[in-house]
Structure 1
Amino acid sequence: MRYSISQVATISGVSARTLRHYDEIGLLAPQEVSANGYRWYGRSQLRVLQRILLLRDLDVSLPQIKAILAGEDDEAAALRRHLRLVTAERDRLDAIAGTIRRTLDDLEGRRSLPDGEFFRGLQERRAQLAATLRKRFGTAVDTALPAHDPWPSSWTRDDYHEAESEARDLYSQLSRARRADLDPTSSAALDIVAAHYEAVRATWPASPEAYHALADLIESDPAQRVVVGGDDPDLPAWLAAGVRAYAVRRLGHRP
């Protein structure tokens, strides 16, 4: 069965204008274009559109989606990867919702929230990142992970907010460089990426090899994409390119 562009727009909730744009940028071509210029889509195009929309829901940029789809030959494997991304994002949002509920209980007087409890969400995110690193790079990564908690138990909420503010400022600086069309592999960009490297080293003594590998997580791990690209969805890909270049040119890593 084939579907007109208006029918696809109706069943998918995507405008015909967006579908035409996807065709123009080589992201989703119709099955055929009739002599009068009408676009027609088949079932396989609907499945591709579903994957595009799943990735857009995860704030993946169109250029990244195009690269992902170009490298996918096994449709079932691609959907399994999407399922893992969606499941990880659901778990991350559940954890954030739990932290918000506990904080609201504290603010509204239903339950006092000790400072140690306030940091639980942060500790859970660090544990999740460590688990992801081990899954990607094996138990050898344990030697690179800090043996102690880099956030001292004496920290107050103000200390945490200050660190969080510094991280936001760093990503804002990186985002401004990206929006200015600065090549992420240029010397000027690597001078900015150096601040990211130092921030990573403050809590994780990453080797040049590990820092280079971190670029993959920045691009593909849902939690890392949200941290890096919360205000700029195109920043993860830009920063990942900069991280790889920094590891090679400034740290001497040889892929």
Structure 2
Amino acid sequence: MQYSISHVAKMAGVSARTLRHYDEIGLLAPAAVSSNGYRWYGRSQLRRLQRILLLRDLDVSLPQINAILAGDDGEASALRRHLMLVTAERDRLDRIAATIVRTLDDLEGQDRLPDEEFFRGLDAGRAQLAATLQERFGDAAASTLQIAAARTAHWTRSDYDQAAADGRELYGRLSRTRQSGVDPASPQALDIVAEHYEAVHAMWPVDPAAYHALADLIEGDAQQRGVVGAEDRHLPPWLAAAIRAYAIHRLDYRRP
């Protein structure tokens, strides 16, 4: 059975304009186009659209989705990968929600949150990041987190709060720069990304190649994308492009 573009749009909760755009960029072609220009979609197109929308819910960019789907070796394996991404994101949000609840109880005097409990979530996040770095960039990249851990070993809760506030302030300025239409490879963007590089380097001694690779992590890892895009979901791809440009133009990184 085939469905019209308006029927598919209604079923999927998207606009017909979105479906036409997906067709124009080669992401989702209709099964057939009639002589009067009407687009028609079959079951295989509906399954592909479902996968596209699953990835969009994870804030994966359209070019990335195209690349992911082009590399799929079967619908079942693709859906298993999507399930892993969704499950990882759900678990991350569950941990954040649990920490927020415990912190609210602490602030409201209902249940004093022990300091070691406060840092438990930070340790779990650091362990997850180390595992991600090791998987993506090898043992050398993951091992550098030990240096970062040593540098923050003496930190108190107020030190972490200040670091978080500084990070939010920087991401806020980066977001405003993006929203003003500044090209991520422009000198203006690179000047503010320099602050991001210095902040990262102070905690994690990245070389130019590792800083360039950090862009992939910000775009592709749900945890890091969630941190960067907490207030602006369009910031991660912009910042990733700016980081790549900074590594090339300011750190003299050369692709191998």
TM, length-normalised to structure 1: 0.87
- For the residue of structure 2 that corresponds to 1:116, the secondary structure is helix
- 1:197-237 per-residue CA deviation (whole Å, 9 max, x = no partner) reads 11111211112221111111011000111111222222211
Cα-to-partner distance string for 1:152-190 (whole Å, 9 max, x where unaligned): 445234x33322121111112222222233222223322
Bigger mean CA deviation after superposition, 176-185 or 15-24 = 15-24
- Structure 2: distance between partners of 1:154 and 1:144: 18
Residue equivalent to 1:122: 122
The amino acid across from 1:104 in the alignment is L
Q: Is the 8 A contact 1:215 1:243 kept in 2?
A: yes
The answer on whether the counterparts of 1:33 and 1:40 sit within 8 Å (CA) in structure 2 is: yes
- The answer (yes or no) to whether the contact 1:89–1:222 under 8 Å persists in 2 is yes
**Residue 140 (structure 2) pairs with residue 140 (structure 1):** yes
Gap change, CA 1:218 and 1:36, over 3 Å in 2: same
Percent of paired sites with the same residue: 67
Counterpart-to-counterpart distance in 1, 2:248 and 2:15: 43
2:24 matched to 1:29? no
Q: Report what 1:156 is aligned to.
A: 157
User: What's the counterpart of residue 176 of structure 1?
Assistant: 176
Supply the distance in 2 between the matched residues of 1:85 and 1:58 (Cα, whole angstroms).
8
Aligned to 2:52: 52
Tell me, which stretches of 5 or more residues in structure 2 are unaligned? none
Q: What is the match of residue 2 of structure 1?
A: 2
Deviates more, 1:26-35 or 1:122-131: 26-35
Are the structure 2 counterparts of residues 150 and 84 from structure 1 closer, same or farther at C-alpha, using a change threshold of 3 Å? farther
Q: Residue 112 of structure 1: CA displacement?
A: 1.3
> Does the CA-based 8 Å contact 2:131-2:142 persist in structure 1?
no
Structure 1 unaligned regions, length at least 5: none
Query: How many angstroms does 1:36 deviate by?
Result: 3.2
| Cα pair 1:150 1:203 within 8 Å, conserved | yes
SS at match of 1:56: helix
Question: How much does 1:192 deviate?
Answer: 1.4
Structure 2 CA distance for partners of 1:34 and 1:152, relative to 1, 3 Å: same
Is the contact between residue 30 and residue 45 of structure 2 (CA under 8 Å) also seen in structure 1? yes
Matching residue's letter, 1:145: L
**Mapped partners of 2:253, 2:125: distance in 1:** 28
Q: CA deviation at 1:143?
A: 4.0
Question: C-alpha root-mean-square deviation of aligned residues, in Å?
Answer: 2.4
Describe the superposition over 1:99-126 as per-residue Cα deviations: whole angstroms up to 9, x where unpaired.
1222233234442102332232222212
Shift of 1:142: 4.1
Q: What is the identity, as a one-letter code, of the residue corresponding to 1:112? A: R
Alignment-derived partner of residue 230 in structure 1: 230
Q: SS of the counterpart of 1:40?
A: strand
Once the two structures are superposed, the pairs formed by residues 11-26 of structure 1 within 5 Å of their partners are 11-24=11-24, 26=26
Cα distance change on mapping 1:67 and 1:179 into 2, 3 Å: farther
> Aligned partners of 2:197 and 2:212: how far apart in 1?
10
Q: Partners in 1 of 2:185 and 2:155 — Cα distance?
A: 39
Letter in 2 for 1:150: R
Q: CA deviation at 1:74?
A: 2.7
Letter of the 2:156 counterpart = W
Q: Measure, in 2, the Cα distance between the counterparts of 1:96 and 1:150.
A: 24
1:85 alignment partner in structure 2? 85
Q: Do the aligned residues in 2 keep the contact of 1:60 with 1:233 (CA within 8 Å)?
A: no
Whole-angstrom distance in 2 between the partners of 1:237 and 1:208 = 19
